[in-house]
Amino acid sequence: MPCNPRYEILFEPVRIGPVTAPNRFYQVPHASGMTNALPRVRAAFREAKAEGGWGVVCTGACSIDPSSDDAPLPFATLWDSNDIRAHALMTEAVHRHGSLAGVELWHGGASVMNRTSRLPPLSPSGIPWMATHVGFMGNLRPKTMDNADIRNVLRCQADAARKARTAGFDIVYVYAGMGYLGYEFLLPEYNHRSDCYGGPIENRVRFVREMIEVTKDAVGKDCGVALRVSLEELRGRPGRNQPSEAHELVELLADVPDLFDVKMDSSPTDCSASRFTGEGSHEPVIDFVKSLTKKPVVGVGRFTSPDTMVSQIRRGVLDFIGGARPSIADPFLPNKIREGREAEIRECIGCNICISSWHDGVPVRCTQNPTAGEEWRRGWHPERVERADRPERILIVGGGPAGLECALTLGRRGHEVTLADSSRTFGGRLTFEKTLPGLSAWNRVVDYRLGRLNEMSNVSLHAESTLGADEIIELSPDRVVLATGARWTNMLYSSLEIPVGRLDHPDVFTPDDIAGGRLPEGPTLVFDFDNYYMGGVLTEHLAVHGVPVSYATPAGQASAWTIMTNELPLVHRALARRKVAVTTLHLLKSFDGETATLAHLFTGEETRVACHSVVIVGLRLPRGELFETLTERADGLAAAGIRSVDRIGDALAPGAIAHAVHSGHKLAREIGADIRWQPYRRDTPIVDAVADFDMRTAAE
């Protein structure tokens, strides 16, 4: 299909200094968790986006010097010749598809702890940057940079820029955002200097200006030089000659870089979750930039709608549509728009599981795109699957995220697929979860898959079909896949994290009871030791429905694991707005229908909470009866010609939706194949020789 003429503007080329991007789709730098230790995994991950039509594809943060060492968080480096070779794999891969490759050169300043390099972190004035993952006394405090340190960092930036050019990059970054070194110079709270780098905004931008200038001197003839800058905090500060210091910064640097990449200041606002923020949330902070510079501007906002993208361009907010998460969820988003297939876009759901991967220090995982990070090691292409040599009749029982993804991928492989679910609608756990406060966008997991499945003639969908072992044997498919999900239990745990038995009482609920339409009578206590979103969001849900509700957890925070997905501060804000009392570090000991007894995790001191009902959000166990019955009936299966019975998703191992989708995809790729014990190819660092060592001299 041809491109909708309304969207053609998105496919115009745009110049960035000496280079030209083929279109306006710009995969901004984002963490992949892959580092230089997995260079082939990384190159293939980025290549998928170039192949999918992103005109610019960038790396994540790439350290310019060992004084910027974020270990154990995963970060890339451009320190030596081995690093150049590692990155060259990525630039070659991106160039194969006619896209530009960008590198986000980065110095973390006081926000890194240099745990491996053991060099003092650098900062304008010795003020530590306080992030939740950064220890204070246990780690090095930053050193105040003297003039020699500043010259050294400028030299490292220029050296790294030259290495980047050798590696084949077309766009080279200076990074002044998110608490990193350039940002620390911009903010007077971190920058107390009395020399020419401190004081008025003209002085505070000097370091960033010099970083851009040395980069331009080094590679500016061949590469576009981009400034990535956070504007949220500065936008809130009145300027002397302009409405804000953010305006003044852009005015002062208007002609200096070849491109402005503008963003927010901290991960929870920069990569905010859809539970709390909609598409295009950065606009109120960055909307002015284009009015003060003629250089192209890229910004993000979890853009997945082509109409919103066009509006950003037409209204003069942005020149490039920046994408990090939308490019992970659908590397082929640009091509789908160009080919008039926008209905096929696999829209990011804004769950931030991808970001949790970085916090976990592992390659990126995505709820919507199970192939993210698997392109090289498992050979999974985001859009193509291998056709089955011998199509089979495959029955999938359960149409939640796992069953839907499995059906879609099996269908694409050419199998004859029957998908049955007992419910009236497909979607499994999401049928309820999408109704919880802020989670409606999560149903894109279901919408995308159902939309495609409905177009496939070799897949038949059967709602309101509860299948037991008899029905399955009678249907006699070649293979059976069970995607029957999991159940929440009322199990409790001790302070040693040992299960101590179930809490049985007619007024004890689990999330499944509430999903089934039973609303507890208030006052209700939600006791949460699952610690991801469910406890917090159910509490909000009950409050919205007028149930007086309080929340308790043995963790130190409400929904503690949501620190990994950038949601934690906003979960607390949401509970506070609903006037929910939050008790942390307490275990639930007992409940008698009128009172719940909580015990402090460490002292054992008991607190009584008057409540009529308790909701336990804790352990989930697979819904496994059907599998057990089927495996007991091996003769019946054999007689019916059923070759295999597999489980996927929560029925196999309960977890986040991302794991269920991955599990369904994996089985669909591998079904019938002889998979040996090694499930994927292992990547290795590129080391041709122990790298050249650039010893600094005292004179420097």
Residues with a known catalytic role: 180
Shortest reach from residue 654's CB to ligand ADP, in Å: 8
| Non-local CB neighbours of 634 within 8 Å, separated by 6+ positions | none
The structure tokens listed for 409 are: 């991928």
Near ligand SF4 by CB under 6 A: residue from 157, 368, 531, 539: 368
Distance CA 301, CA 24 (A): 15
Distance CA 441, CA 44 (A): 28
Distance CA 414, CA 393 (A): 10
The structure tokens listed for 552 are: 């308790």
Distance CA 524, CA 550 (A): 6
Nearer to ligand ADP, 61 or 395 (CB): 395
Shortest reach from residue 349's CB to ligand SF4, in Å: 4
Chain centroid, CA 433 distance in Å? 19
* Alpha helix ranges (H) inside 168-277: 181-186, 201-204, 206-219, 232-235, 245-252, 267-270
Residue count of the chain = 700
- Decide which of ligand SF4, ligand ADP, none touches 466; Cβ closer than 5 to 8 Å per partner kind: ligand ADP
β-strand partners of 433: none
Residues 423 to 442 in contact with ligand ADP, rule: CB under 6 A: 423, 428-429
- Decide which of ligand ADP, ligand SF4, none touches 547; Cβ closer than 5 to 8 Å per partner kind: none
Which region, judged by CB under 6 A, interacts with ligand ADP, from 53-61, 83-91, 220-228, 400-408? 400-408
What are the CA-CA distances from residue 204 to residues 208, 209, 210 (Å)? 8, 9, 11
Shortest reach from residue 353's CB to ligand SF4, in Å: 4
β-strand partners of 480: 395, 645
Shortest reach from residue 351's CB to ligand SF4, in Å: 4
Near ligand ADP by CB under 6 A: residue from 397, 408, 568, 582: 397
- Decide which of ligand SF4, ligand ADP, none touches 101; Cβ closer than 5 to 8 Å per partner kind: none
Shortest reach from residue 401's CB to ligand ADP, in Å: 4
Near ligand SF4 by CB under 6 A: residue from 17, 331, 350, 427: 350
Number of residues that bind ligand SF4 (CB under 6 A): 13
Nearer to ligand SF4, 333 or 349 (CB): 349
Chain centroid, CA 622 distance in Å? 26
Does position 206 bind ligand SF4 by CB under 6 A?
Answer: no
Does position 179 bind ligand ADP by CB under 6 A?
Answer: no
CB atoms inside a 10 Å sphere around CB 61: 27
Does position 351 bind ligand SF4 by CB under 6 A?
Answer: yes
Question: x/- contact string, 289-328, with ligand SF4 (CB under 6 A)?
Answer: ------------------------------------x--x
- Decide which of ligand ADP, ligand SF4, none touches 349; Cβ closer than 5 to 8 Å per partner kind: ligand SF4
Distance CA 191, CA 127 (A): 8
Longest C-alpha distance within the chain, in Å? 86
Evaluate whether 351 touches 436 at the Cβ level (below 8 Å).
Answer: no
Which region, judged by CB under 6 A, interacts with ligand SF4, from 288-296, 364-372, 459-467, 496-504? 364-372
Number of residues that bind ligand ADP (CB under 6 A): 24
Evaluate whether 391 touches 456 at the Cβ level (below 8 Å).
Answer: no
Does position 297 bind ligand ADP by CB under 6 A?
Answer: no
Evaluate whether 251 touches 283 at the Cβ level (below 8 Å).
Answer: no
Does position 317 bind ligand ADP by CB under 6 A?
Answer: no
Shortest reach from residue 626's CB to ligand ADP, in Å: 5
Near ligand ADP by CB under 6 A: residue from 58, 337, 355, 483: 483
Residue with tokens 């192949």: 51
Nearer to ligand SF4, 124 or 350 (CB): 350
User: Which of these, 217, 210, 205, lies nearest to 150 by C-alpha position?
Assistant: 210
Distance CA 89, CA 39 (A): 7
Nearer to ligand ADP, 108 or 649 (CB): 649
Shortest reach from residue 630's CB to ligand SF4, in Å: 33
The structure tokens listed for 78 are: 């451009």
Residue with tokens 């994290």: 497
Evaluate whether 530 touches 617 at the Cβ level (below 8 Å).
Answer: yes
Shortest reach from residue 324's CB to ligand ADP, in Å: 26
Does position 78 bind ligand SF4 by CB under 6 A?
Answer: no
Q: Coil, helix or strand for 173?
A: strand
Does position 430 bind ligand SF4 by CB under 6 A?
Answer: no
* Alpha helix ranges (H) inside 283-388: 283-286, 289-292, 306-314, 325-329, 333-338, 353-360
Near ligand SF4 by CB under 6 A: residue from 50, 174, 214, 329: 329
Near ligand ADP by CB under 6 A: residue from 39, 485, 535, 618: 485
Does position 661 bind ligand SF4 by CB under 6 A?
Answer: no
Shortest reach from residue 418's CB to ligand ADP, in Å: 11
Whether residue 370 is preceded by a cis peptide bond, meaning omega within 30 degrees of 0, is no
| Binding stretches for ligand SF4 (CB under 6 A) | 325, 328-329, 348-354, 366-368
| Binding stretches for ligand ADP (CB under 6 A) | 397-403, 420-423, 428-429, 466-467, 483-485, 623, 626, 649-651, 660
